[in-house]
Structure formats: structure tokens, C-alpha cells
């Protein structure tokens, strides 16, 4: 096994899902757009026949009909969610590029299938132990609020929205990977990490045991900790995780 997992694997399942949704979206949009164009054209022709007018006026009437139909019917058309999946795939690939800068003592497994639904974005095995890394890419401002004298719990927010569900998801992933590591007889820490790719700046914090941090801090954080794995031990752990969580 190579020292580092192939970065080509990162984000493949998210990109594949995005392409599937995009094709489905276009298949559902095309009949609606075509139907609106036909109705608008017939309406314009009908208006021209009923009320003789210059061709420019007839074309303008058809255009007005088309715009009106599009605006009214758009609320019932399916929204295109493929962009979110494409952004997720780009975030995973960016994280894989960062992890590729680590030395040969680290091994990264990207885009791994979980038992049941979902996948693991990245599994990183190195001297300090195992890290379960979830990649996110956001446009809105990211805020990670720490507790203030016990008045409220830490919060992870994006554009004012509570992202506690993301923390819950990574904790479940951590528990699943920790069980797999323990089944193999290893007693090493399994750390959950959410790495955020965003144009803005924010201060990373630990939220309910999950380290939420900007991409610029990822390598610094994962390197922390005393050495628990050495060469042959690390390779055996990677082989076990590779079997337990195959490529998605």
C-alpha cells in the first residue's frame, strides 16, 4: 500500500451523485421549459390573429407570455441540488490535496463506504492515531461559538444557521470507526474533525468533542499528539480499515 491514499478517490461519490441529480433535474426541467415556450408561442400567434398588429408587437406579446409562465410555474419545478454535491466534492478534493502534504508516516483513505447509508470523506492514520475528517465547503460566514461560563453550549453556525446536525453526523462516524479500530485490538484515539473550506476567516473550536477548524489549520491539528503507531502497526491498522471501509 502506498504511503498516501490516492487523492483522485476524494469526492468521487459526491461528484457522481451531483451528476446524477443534474441529469435528473434537466430531464424534469426540459419538458416544462419546452411546454412554456410552445404555449407562449401559440399565445402570441393567437393574439396576432385576433388583433392584427405588427410582428414586433406579436413577438413582444409572446415574450411576455413566456416570462409570465416561467415565473408562475417555477415554484412547482424541482430545485437543482446538484450544486451542493459538486461543492462537497470540491471540498473533499481540496482536503485530500492538503493531506497529501504529510510525510510517508501518514496514510489517508478517501471516500470510504460505511455500513448502511453514507460515506466517510477521509480516514487519516498516523503516529498519533486515527482521525475521521469530514470536509465542508461553505459560502456564508462560519462562526464557531464556545461556551461562556457554562451559559450555553458551543455552537457551529453557517450564515446564522445552526449546524449541530453536522456535528452529530461526525460523532456517529467517529463511533463507527472507533468500534472498527477496537475490534482489531488497537487502543488508540479516534479524533473527529470537521474541516471547513471558506473564503472567510473564523476561529476553530471544539464543539462537543468535534474539532471544527478552517482548512489552513488542518495539518497543524492532525499532527498533534504523542506517537502511538509505528511502522508495521500503522500498516496493519490501515489494511484493517481499508477492508472494513471499502471505496465508495
Torsion of CA 239, 241, 243, 244, to 10 degrees: 160
Per-residue pLDDT at 2: 42
Q: What average pLDDT does range 31-50 have in this prediction?
A: 58
Q: Output the nine-digit C-alpha cell for 206.
A: 471544539
Q: Output the nine-digit C-alpha cell for 154.
A: 458551543
Q: Could you give the percent of the chain with pLDDT greater than 90?
A: 38
Per-residue pLDDT at 237: 93
| Contact assessment for residue 131 and residue 177, using Cβ atoms and an 8 Å cutoff | no
Q: Output the nine-digit C-alpha cell for 227.
A: 506517537
Q: Could you give the percent of the chain with pLDDT greater than 70?
A: 62
How open is the CA angle 197-200-201, to the nearest 5 degrees? 95
Average pLDDT, the chain: 78
pLDDT digits (tens, 9 = 90+) for 118-175: 899 999 999 999 999 999 988 878 888 766 555 566 778 887 788 889 999 999 999 9
Q: Output the nine-digit C-alpha cell for 151.
A: 451559559
**pLDDT grade for 238, boundaries at 50, 70 and 90:** very high
Most confidently predicted of 5-19, 70-84, 200-214: 200-214
Q: Output the nine-digit C-alpha cell for 111.
A: 471516500
| Contact assessment for residue 205 and residue 144, using Cβ atoms and an 8 Å cutoff | yes
**pLDDT grade for 62, boundaries at 50, 70 and 90:** low
Task: Measure the CA–CA gap between 34 and 20, rounded to whole angstroms.
Answer: 22
pLDDT digits (tens, 9 = 90+) for 158-217: 877 888 899 999 999 999 999 999 998 888 999 999 999 988 888 888 898 999 999 999
Amino acid at each position: 500500500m502506498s504511503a498516501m491514499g490516492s487523492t483522485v478517490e476524494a469526492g468521487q461519490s459526491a461528484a457522481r451523485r451531483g451528476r446524477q441529480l443534474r441529469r435528473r433535474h434537466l430531464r424534469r426541467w426540459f419538458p416544462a421549459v419546452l411546454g412554456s415556450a410552445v404555449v407562449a408561442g401559440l399565445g402570441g400567434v393567437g393574439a396576432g390573429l385576433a388583433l392584427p398588429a405588427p410582428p414586433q408587437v406579436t413577438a413582444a406579446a409572446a415574450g411576455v407570455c413566456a416570462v409570465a409562465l416561467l415565473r408562475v410555474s417555477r415554484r412547482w419545478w424541482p430545485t437543482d441540488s446538484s450544486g451542493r454535491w459538486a461543492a462537497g466534492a470540491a471540498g473533499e478534493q481540496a482536503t485530500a490535496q492538503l493531506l497529501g502534504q504529510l510525510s510517508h508516516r501518514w496514510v489517508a483513505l478517501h471516500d470510504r463506504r460505511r455500513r448502511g447509508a453514507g460515506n466517510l470523506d477521509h480516514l487519516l492514520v498516523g503516529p498519533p492515531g486515527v482521525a475521521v475528517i469530514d470536509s465542508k465547503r461553505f459560502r456564508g460566514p462560519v462562526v464557531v461559538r464556545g461556551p461562556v461560563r457554562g451559559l450555553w453550549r458551543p455552537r457551529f453556525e453557517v450564515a446564522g444557521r445552526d449546524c449541530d446536525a453536522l456535528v452529530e453526523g461526525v460523532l456517529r462516524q467517529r463511533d463507527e470507526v472507533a468500534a472498527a479500530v477496537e475490534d482489531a485490538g488497537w487502543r488508540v484515539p479516534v479524533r473527529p474533525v470537521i474541516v471547513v473550506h471558506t473564503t472567510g476567516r473564523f476561529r476553530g473550536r471544539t464543539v462537543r468533542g468535534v474539532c471544527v477548524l478552517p482548512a489552513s489549520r488542518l495539518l497543524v491539528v492532525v499532527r498533534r499528539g504523542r506517537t502511538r503507531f509505528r511502522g508495521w502497526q500503522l500498516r496493519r491498522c490501515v489494511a484493517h480499515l481499508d477492508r472494513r471501509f471499502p471505496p465508495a
